[in-house]
Amino acid sequence: ARAAGPRIAAARAALDDSGHHRFTAAAEEAGAHRWAETLHGLLADPAAPFSMGDLVAGGLQPRHRRVVRLMLPLLAEHGLARTTGQTWRLTGAETRAEALLRYLVEDHPRFGAETLLLNRQLRRLPDVVRGRVDARELLPAGDSAYEQLHETGPAHRFAHRAVQALLGDIVGRWPADRPLRVLEVGATTTALTAAALPVLPADRTRYTRTAPTGSGPTRAEHRFAAYDFVEHRTLDPDADLIAQGLPRSGFDLVLAGDALHATTDLAATLRRLHEVLAPGGHLLAVEPHHARLQALLSGTLDDFWERGDHTLRPASRILSRDRWAPLLRRCGFSGVAQTGPEDRSVLLAAADHDGGTGHDGGAGQDRGYGPGRDHGPGQDHGPDTGPPPAAPGAAWVIAVEDDTETATARALAALLGKATVVVAPDRAAAWSEALPTDTGPRVVLLLAEPGPHDTVVRTTRRAALLRSLATACDGPKGATGPRVWLVTRPTGLFPAPEQPSHPDDAAVWAACRTLANERPDLSLRRLSCHRTGDAHTDARRLAGELLAPGDDDPGTREDEIVLTAGGRFVPRQVQHPADEPPGVPAGTPYILEARDPGLRRRLVWRQTDLPAPGPGEVALEMRAVALNYRDPMRANGLLPPEAVENSPIGRGLGTDGAGVVRAVGEGVRDLKPGDRVCGLVPAALASHATTPASAVVRIPDGLGFTEAATFPVAFLTVHQTLVNQARLGPGETVLVHGGAGAVGLAVLQCARRQGARVIATAGTETKRDLLRTLGAEHVLDSRSLDFVPRVRELTGGRGVDVVVNSLSGEAIAQGLGLLSPNGRFIELGKKDIFLNNPITLRPFDRSLTFIGFNLDAVIDSPELGALLLTDFEAEAVSGTYRPLPHTVHPAARVEEAFHLLQHSRHTGKVVVTFDPLDEPVPVEPAPGTLRLDGEGTYLITGGPSGLGAATARLLADRGARHLALLSRSGPDAPDAPALLRELTDRGVHATAHAADVTDETALRRVLDAVDATGHPLRGVVHAAMHMDDAVLADLTDDRFAAVLAPKAGGAALLDRLTADRDLDLFLTYSSVSAAIG
């Protein structure tokens, strides 16, 4: 926790800057006033003292007495109620719930998801407490707004950043050869999982994500499909976890996001989690403490109150901040670290397994994360429990390569039961004598520590052992073949965590792959085992794998296994995920690119050059970009060419941008580096971008980057169309469709500025409630044309003065029909325009105006754009135009932001941020261009033809000017003169040397000749080879050695002779066939 402290402190500062405390206070005040109004409506005499019985008599559902008791002290704090002993009395102070709700939304735009949910709950509160509305309908499972709250709410973002910081430290300390076993409990949303997975090493993590019974993992499975190390399952945290199939001491880390308090008995839950944690394992949990704020959101739900530990949690299921550390210690945890604001904690605690209650080292104690037991498929037992029992009747032959493996073999034989230890023969007849006569013998071939033999000799002999074993196992058709295990030491064949301590073993591993393909009847399997130096310990680990339950099932068993010092791993060959590029150094410029438009569209951050500003331009370091509908349309290939050509969106995705001026171009006077600005920025979805200086304005003091990014497109569009073109005046009526979107909310503000009334439509009741709170006089359903007669009714048949339309098809004709004489129709949708759909002219007989708006046209007119920006800046600085509600998404999760907007599951704006506190952005590097040292020499083995010649040309293309070409024939090779002339013509000095790459004396002579040129050796490319292909059983020792000698022997010799040289590269050619045998 101490190591992660600086990152957590920065995240805490960002939370404070977001206005979290001001938002909490404003939410409580609005909630208090709404509750006061609700209680007033329940009382026969609101001025008289009242009891709970009086409220029930007035219509309060009895089960809601609990939340009333919790809320009454809040009312007292705001002067709205006071206690009179056993009863309460409303003070009669004026209540302002409607105004406070509106201020809550308008004054706290960063809390878009929170205000949306609070507004819905509080507006419906009177009906809920009377039982007219089911509270569960207001917070349904899987609700998009609820997901967004947990994903993007500032308090939750702080918690996730803290979790990422702590996880990063745990991962950094975790042994590289040990699996990290993670259990997430109570995952009712995907938010914590999404924060944790990018931090965890994919090759070492086993992540078990559990959700309560009935919550359904389908959405999570889809969202995290790219993480193949994640297992999804249901789990009841209130029941015995071991009985539900979790292994005792089977996890190194347990994660819980807003989940622990939701269980019936908190202490029992913690003890159950302690039971599944390995010694020294950690619990990392996020928990809320502000019971009243939580109750404003979900206090009318029965779940909020269900608990069995009323002594520990007397008021509600929310546990106060100061009680968590003592509780964790009582339940067997120690080293408790607790961080976060007063209303939310991130808790880290270690599981003690010494039988005591543990000792708390104090907040911030820095604990190590040492290795623990071996666990994994086939190894879920610990070393102290021994391997599973031997299969009855199974006959084993343990063949050692030489006597150095005898001790391990004998210890293994004792564990396997019916087993014989032999020295592995290299003749088929000897194998036949050693193998049992019954069907299905099991053979373990233990390779020895490499001796003095060279790679070629040793590998040739080992291949002979495999060939002779295969020949001995030729049986009658239909007979059950043997099961053969090849046991090596760590080969380095696989990436980490296997160590390359015995690379010679990799050659026989590859040969065994080939034999497994040629002889599937042998059931040939490979096992790399780290040796501890103790024969009995090594034998127990091997026996645990050989005797693993389910090992007989070919559909589930593994053919290649790596046992490291810390755990068990199996290889997987998968396509590298497109959304997980290898990354680039910090500070590298990047830009968002849409690839494969359509159903399989991908968004990729790719490396780019740092843009420089031209005359009249500014270069920006982007901090926040608000998405617009045409961004996903462009990414999905739905915009016609004419909408992209000669348009800012043609330069890249994103237009609404906020950032810091990095540099200014010639002629720019009003802006300077360091200025915070927002405006219209083509290709804004990038770490850096350029735009005309006239297209941006300074961000008013007090506004953050995310807030500023919500302004440009929405407000410029609305101000230009409603004020400058439609000339909206006082007393007029505006009909706006999609009122809860960015433009719709901007219309509400602009209409208020102009003194006009608004009739708005929206697609969900939640969005319609938001529009009512923000001042829309009437709110209708946009998902049908039923709004048409309602608008006529509401306007007394006169119609509206202005229609702001974003609907397509029949809605346009209906909207034109709703206009009063001299009405104005503003078309912001693009579908019908791009399709060139006709409209009827008959309505225009009433002197109507049709305004088709395209912001690009404004941008293309510098004078008009500058004037519009000046007007907008004045309105923003004065506070007439306020930032729009929005949700914030880190750039690393831009795909999720696009998906949210594309499916209209948002209100206001969806903002993508470039914040170093978030997880790193996965940037695809630019295609690499190797540039070689023109003064150095590069040695190429393999002759002046084939791969050797192709390599020579490639190195010349990359800047090499001195090449040494080595082959057995040297300058006398048939293709040598032509290649040397070609290279000379290209300005490359190339020399052909005659030498056998396996001859140390000859090779030293070539290296000496290179040194004598004055152009030191800078690289080696080993392309020499000898081809002789046949099935393994048909290859003789001589044929096998002839192939190995130049490839393996030559590589080993080149490596040894150049080990003390400063090389740019040492490259050996291989074949993809080695990966599959």
If pLDDT is split at 50, 70 and 90, which confidence band does 388 have? low
Do 901 and 951 sit in the same domain of this protein? no
Per the model's pLDDT, the better-predicted residue between 515 and 573 turns out to be: 515
Crossing angle (nearest 10°) for helices 20-42 and 291-298: 60
Look at strands 617-626 and 656-664 and give their pairing.
antiparallel
What pLDDT, on the 0 to 100 scale, is given for residue 1077? 61
Q: Which of 834, 812, 837, 808 is nearest to 825 (CA)?
A: 812
* Maximal C-alpha separation, the chain: 114
Q: What is the CATH number of the domain that holds 902?
A: 3.90.180.10
Is the same domain home to 222 and 74?
no
HSE, side-chain direction, 13 A CA sphere, residue 217 = 20
Task: Look at residue 274 and tell me if it is in a domain.
Answer: yes
The closest alpha carbon to 667, from 627, 633, 625, 618, belongs to 618
Q: Angle CA(276)–CA(277)–CA(283) in degrees, nearest 5?
A: 120
Residue 297: closest CA among 111, 169, 106, 434? 111
Burial group, residue 902, by CB count within 10 angstroms (0-12, 13-18, 19+): middle
Span 140-161, average pLDDT: 88
- pLDDT confidence tier of residue 365, bands split at 50, 70 and 90: very low
Taking Cα atoms as reference points, which of 482, 485, 476, 409 lies closest to residue 445?
Answer: 485
Q: Which residue has the tokens 């190339």?
A: 990
Q: What's the domain range around 423?
A: 396-569
Do 770 and 902 have their domain in common? Answer: no
Partner residues linked to 568 by β-bridges = 563
Q: Looking at the structure, do residues 706 and 719 belong to the same domain, yes or no?
A: no
Instruction: State residue 463's pLDDT score.
Output: 94
Looking at residue 417, what DSSP letter applies?
S
Dump pLDDT digits (tens) for 851-892: 998 887 777 777 777 777 888 888 888 889 999 999 999 999
**Contact yes or no for 993/965 (Cβ under 8 A):** yes
Q: Give the span between the Cα atoms of 192 and 1025, in whole angstroms.
A: 52
Give the whole-angstrom CA distance, residue 837 versus residue 731: 33
> What confidence tens digit (pLDDT) does each residue in 72-94 have?
999 999 999 999 888 999 999 99
Residue 674 backbone class (left: φ over 0; alpha: ψ -120 to 50; beta: rest): left
Mapping DSSP onto H, E and C, the string for 515-572 reads HHHHCHHHCEEEEEECCCCCHHHHHHHHHHHHCCCCCCCCCCCCCEEEECCCCEECCC
Q: Give the pLDDT of residue 362.
A: 33
Report whether 370 contacts 386 (CB < 8 A).
Answer: no
User: Radius of gyration over alpha carbons of the chain, in Å?
Assistant: 36
Task: Using alpha carbons only, give the angle 240, 241, 247 rounded to the nearest 5 degrees.
Answer: 135
The burial of 384, by beta-carbon neighbours within 10 Å (0-12 exposed, 13-18 middle, 19 or more buried), is given as exposed
- pLDDT tens digits for range 294-305: 999 999 999 899
Q: Please report which confidence band the pLDDT of residue 285 belongs to, taking 50, 70 and 90 as the band edges.
A: very high
Q: Which of 143, 178, 209 is the last residue of a domain?
A: 143
- Is 379 inside a domain boundary? no
**pLDDT of the residue at 359:** 35
pLDDT at position 651: 85
Q: Would you say 116 and 123 are in contact if contact means Cβ atoms under 8 Å apart?
A: no
Q: Cα angle at 100 between 97 and 104, to 5 degrees?
A: 135
* pLDDT bracket for residue 142 (50, 70, 90): low
64 pLDDT exceeds 90? yes
- Tens digit of each residue's pLDDT (9 = 90 or more) over 502-529: 999 999 999 999 999 999 888 899 999 9
Does any domain span residue 359?
no
Q: Is residue 574 part of a domain?
A: no
- pLDDT given at position 536: 96
Per-residue pLDDT at 438: 67
**DSSP per-residue string spanning 325-385:** HHHHHHTTEEEEEEES-TTEEEEEEEEP-SSS------TT-----------STT--S-TTT
Tally the domains of the chain: 6
Q: What is the mean pLDDT of residues 806-833?
A: 89
Number of Cβ atoms within 10 Å of the Cβ of 673 = 12
CATH number at residue 312: 3.40.50.150
Span 179-233, pLDDT tens digits: 999 999 999 999 999 999 999 999 899 999 999 876 555 788 999 998 989 999 9
Say if residues 553 and 588 touch (Cβ distance below 8 Å).
Answer: no
Burial class (CB in 10 A: 0-12, 13-18, 19+), 556: exposed
pLDDT of residue 369: 26
Confidence of residue 811 (pLDDT cuts 50, 70, 90): confident
In a domain, 603, yes or no: yes
Q: Find where tokens 């219209």 sit.
A: 680
What distances in angstroms separate CA 607 from CA 593, 620, 688, 924, 1063, one per listed residue? 10, 17, 11, 6, 28
SS (H, E, C) 872-937: HHHHHHHCCCCCCCEEEEEHHHHHHHHHHHHCCCCCEEEEEECCCCCCCCCEECCCCCCCCCCCCE
User: Distance between CA 412 and CA 421 in Å, rounded?
Assistant: 9
Give percent of the chain above pLDDT 90. Answer: 73
What mean pLDDT do residues 321-333 have? 97
Q: Which distant-in-sequence residues (6+ apart) come within 8 Å of 985 by Cβ?
A: none
Q: Does a structural domain hold residue 360? A: no
pLDDT one-digit tens code per residue, 692-719: 999 999 999 989 999 999 999 999 999 9
What are 208's strand-pairing partners?
Answer: 183, 231
- Give the CA distances from residue 401 to residues 124, 314, 532, 538, in Å, rounded to whole numbers and listed in that order: 79, 69, 19, 16
> CA 481, CA 458: separation in Å to the nearest integer?
27
Omega before 862 cis (within 30°)? no
Could you tell me if residue 365 is inside a domain?
A: no
Who's near 407: CB < 8 A, 6+ residues apart?
535
Q: Coil, strand or helix: which one is 739?
A: coil
The Cα angle at residue 850 between residues 733 and 822, in degrees rounded to 5 = 50
Mean pLDDT for the stretch of residues 812-818: 92
For residues 765 and 814, membership in a common domain is answered with yes
Same domain, 914 and 1004: no
Domain end call among 510, 535, 569: 569
**Residue pair 630/594 in contact by the 8 Å Cβ criterion:** no
Residue pair 617/693 in contact by the 8 Å Cβ criterion: yes
User: Are residues 704 and 777 both part of a single domain?
Assistant: no
* Same domain? 671 vs 594: yes
Is the domain of 160 the same as that of 135?
A: no
- Could you tell me which residues are beta bridge partners of residue 191? none
Do residues 971 and 867 share a domain? no
Are 387 and 540 spatial neighbours (Cβ–Cβ below 8 Å)? yes
- Other CB atoms within 10 Å distance of the CB of residue 304: 22
Question: Do the beta carbons of residue 762 and residue 731 sit within 8 Å?
Answer: no
Instruction: Report the relative pairing of strands 656-664 and 676-680 from DSSP bridges.
Output: antiparallel
End-of-domain residue from the set 924, 952, 986: 924
Of 111-115, 359-363, 546-550, the poorest mean pLDDT is in 359-363
Helices (H) and strands (E) in the chain, counts: 38, 37
pLDDT of residue 378: 39
Q: State residue 555's pLDDT score.
A: 64
Beta bridge partners, 396, equal 419, 442
287 three-class SS: strand
Give bridge partners of residue 528 from the DSSP assignment. 488, 562
Model confidence at 736: pLDDT above 90: yes
The answer as to whether 377 is a domain residue is no
Both 1057 and 943 in one domain: the answer is yes
Q: Does residue 357 surpass a pLDDT of 60?
A: no
Residues 971 and 1038 in one domain: yes
Rounded (5°) CA angle 203-205-206? 125
Rounded Cα distance, 238 and 303, in Å:
14
